[in-house]
Structures are given as C-alpha cells and as structure tokens.
Amino acid sequence: MNKAPNLASKKAPNQTPNSASNRELNQAPNPAPNRELNQAPNPASKRASNQAPVNRILEHTLVDGPGNRSIVFLQGCNIGCKYCHNPETQRLCNGCGICVPQCPAGALTVQGGNVVWDAALCTKCDTCIHVCPHNSSPKVTWRTAGDVFREIDRNRPFIRGITVSGGECSLYLPFVQELFERCQAVGLSCLMDSNGTVPLWDEPVTAVCDGVMLDVKAWDETCFHRLTGGRNTIVKENLYRLSRMGKLEELRIVCLENHVDAERTIRETARLLLEEIRQKTLLKLIRFRPVGVRGELAQTPPPGLPYMERLSRLAVECGYGTVRVI
C-alpha cells in the first residue's frame, strides 16, 4: 500500500520539468485543452525574483490553516479549473483596457499600454473583474517580500501565522521563500495553499514552509485534464514526497458528481500515504458551490448532502483520522 509511486522514476528530482517555464500568463484566459503543465507560463520572468503580483491580503482568516492567520493571494495560475471560484486570479492583466471605461469610479486609466489602478479612487465594486474577458484583474500590485512582510507584521499580535495562496503561489517560489524566512524569524508559522503542479520537494522553500495545503482535484489523469487543462503526475509526486518530509498540512478535494472522481481520489490518496500520516492529516471534502464560477459549471447546483456524507464515511474507512465536510 505504501510503496513509492512510479511517477517520475526516470528523472531525478532536480531534473523534473519546471511547470513555470515558457509562456506568459496573460496570453490566454484559460489553458488550451492539450497544454502540458511543463509548458505553463512563468509570470515572474520579467520581474525581480523577490517580487510577486499580489491580488490582495486578508488580515484575518480562520479557514486557511490552523488558528487566526493572514493570507496573501498571488495573481496567476498555471491551470484553469472549471470550478474555480476566483477565476479573476488566473491571469495577469494584458492591458487590453476593456475595463477602463466601465469603472464607475474612474479608478482605472491606461498609461504606457498598461491599465493603472488608483486604489484611493476605487470603491471595490469589482466591475472591472466582472467585465474582464481574460480571467484577470487590474487591481494587482507587484510587491517585494519585504513590503508584504511589513504589512503582515503590523498584525502579528493577533495572528498565529500566514498562508500564501493564489492563483498558484508556487509560481513565485523565491518570493515565497523570502517572505517565509522573514515571518519565521518573528515566530509566525508559514503555509502554502497549492495545486501541487510545480515540484516542491527539492526546493529550498520547503525548509521554511511548515506545511502545504494540497488541492489534489482529481486522481484519474483524464478527469484531471478535463477539469483543469493540466496533468497531475507532479501532484501525485508532491503528495508522496511532501508527506514523507512531514510537510503535508492538509488535503483538499472539491467534490462534484460526474465531474470529479472524488471516491477514487480518496482511495488512491489513502493508498499512497502512510497510516500515521493519514491519521494526522486533515482531509477537507469541499462541496462544490457555483459562487464566482464562470463557464460551463456556473449554473451547476452543489452536490447533495447524502453524497457528501457518503464520501466522508469512505474517507474514514480508508483511514483518514480527521475528515471535514465543508
């Protein structure tokens, strides 16, 4: 049951293809159906390595790791989940300007081919996000790890730690690493919320990351590809290796009948993990909701509660010690 998977056996860890290598995120609103993860874009290729595009920072959250935490949402993702509830974080703004005349507050202008956002004028109506055809947002700022840390540090007396999410935060590992180094130096725990499509097990960031909250999405490769446009070989490798390193904080599965192979994903993840890891790792079974979703699943109703209860019972039978239906 616990035998290592043959997921990347022909490559040493430092030879695994970097899933953030060749294409700008703002070239397309969603990944093409046949796009491989190792062809995904590197959104930080033209910026300093300690910078990342920040969509927003929430000072307090109780649902993104243990305790009260601050969470940083980075912009840009290397896949395009059909059930994504914040699709405006998937791509970088390409400066098309469609949103500019639509802004009722006049907070957007075009300068030098870029859409510039004036936070002082913004009323947070999100009209720009709703009219954007590219799954992007003009309300994104490129910031250094030091700058973000200083904002979080003001809130330090009230939080246990920070979580970095996205988009996909693993596209900006140098930024995440520096931010975590600064946060750990003042006693804050550090978590990554990741889709697992970028190899993490051999990256320096793991030394300063207390754990990864891994969204495995689907187990069957065809199902995963149909749902996200990507491949999940690296996801499975991350699951196996991070769990052995003691870096698996949480597993997540968004559950939707006829779209996600949730039953198989529960069984196969359990088969991959050691018994003691299954016992201590939180498994979140997230009931799909169409809030914020665009495209073909926008009008799809959530799965019934009996279905979610059945999945929860299956997870317990498979040895998961803590199962939470959300």
**What is the token pair recorded at 219?**
């187990």
Q: 265, 263, 237: which is closest to 251 by C-alpha? A: 265
Q: What is the pLDDT of residues 158-173, one digit of tens each?
A: 999 999 999 999 999 9
Per-residue pLDDT of the chain (326 residues; tens, 9 = 90+): 454 455 544 333 333 333 333 333 333 333 333 333 333 344 444 566 789 999 999 999 999 999 999 999 999 999 999 999 999 999 999 999 999 999 999 999 999 999 999 999 999 999 999 999 999 999 999 999 999 999 999 999 999 999 999 999 999 999 999 999 999 999 999 999 999 999 999 999 999 999 999 999 999 999 999 999 999 999 999 999 999 999 999 999 999 999 999 999 999 999 999 999 999 999 999 999 999 999 999 999 999 999 999 999 999 999 999 999 99
Q: State whether 38 and 107 are in the same domain.
A: no
Q: State whether 119 and 143 are in the same domain.
A: no
**What is the token pair recorded at 93?**
């703004």
Average pLDDT of every residue of the chain: 89
Looking at the domain assignment, is residue 4 inside a domain?
Answer: no
- Domain of 192: which CATH number? 3.20.20.70
Q: State whether 232 and 188 are in the same domain.
A: yes
**What is the token pair recorded at 141?**
């700022």
Looking at the domain assignment, is residue 2 inside a domain?
Answer: no
**What is the token pair recorded at 23?**
């294409």
For 65-128, what is the HEC assignment? CCCCEEEEEECCCCCCCCCCCCHHHCCCCCCCCCCHHHCCCCCEEEECCEEEECCCCCCCCCHH
Q: What is the pLDDT of residues 44-67, one digit of tens each?
A: 445 667 899 999 999 999 999 999
What domain range is 116 assigned to? Answer: 100-131
Q: State whether 118 and 172 are in the same domain.
A: no
Q: State whether 43 and 154 are in the same domain.
A: yes
Helix (H) / strand (E) element for 287: namely strand 282-287
Q: State whether 106 and 169 are in the same domain.
A: no
| Lateral strand order in the sheet of 248-255 | 141-144, 51-61, 69-74, 161-165, 189-194, 211-215, 248-255, 282-287, 322-325
- Residues of the chain with pLDDT > 70, as a percent, come to 85
Longest pairwise C-alpha distance within the chain? 59
Cβ neighbour number for residue 70 with a 10 Å cutoff: 26
Q: What is the pLDDT of residues 74-114, one digit of tens each?
A: 999 999 999 999 999 999 999 999 999 999 999 999 999 99
- Domain of 105: which CATH number? 3.30.70.20
Q: State whether 264 and 311 are in the same domain.
A: yes
Q: State whether 22 and 38 are in the same domain.
A: yes
Number of domain units in the chain? 2
Q: State whether 81 and 151 are in the same domain.
A: yes
Looking at the domain assignment, is residue 8 inside a domain?
Answer: no
Q: State whether 83 and 120 are in the same domain.
A: no
First to last CA, the chain: 28
Q: State whether 256 and 119 are in the same domain.
A: no
Q: What is the model's pLDDT at position 33?
A: 32
Looking at the domain assignment, is residue 191 inside a domain?
Answer: yes
* Helices vs. strands in the chain: H and E counts, helices first: 8, 11
Cβ neighbour number for residue 104 with a 10 Å cutoff: 9
CA 291/CA 301 separation, integer angstroms = 10
Looking at the domain assignment, is residue 28 inside a domain?
Answer: yes
Q: State whether 160 and 113 are in the same domain.
A: no
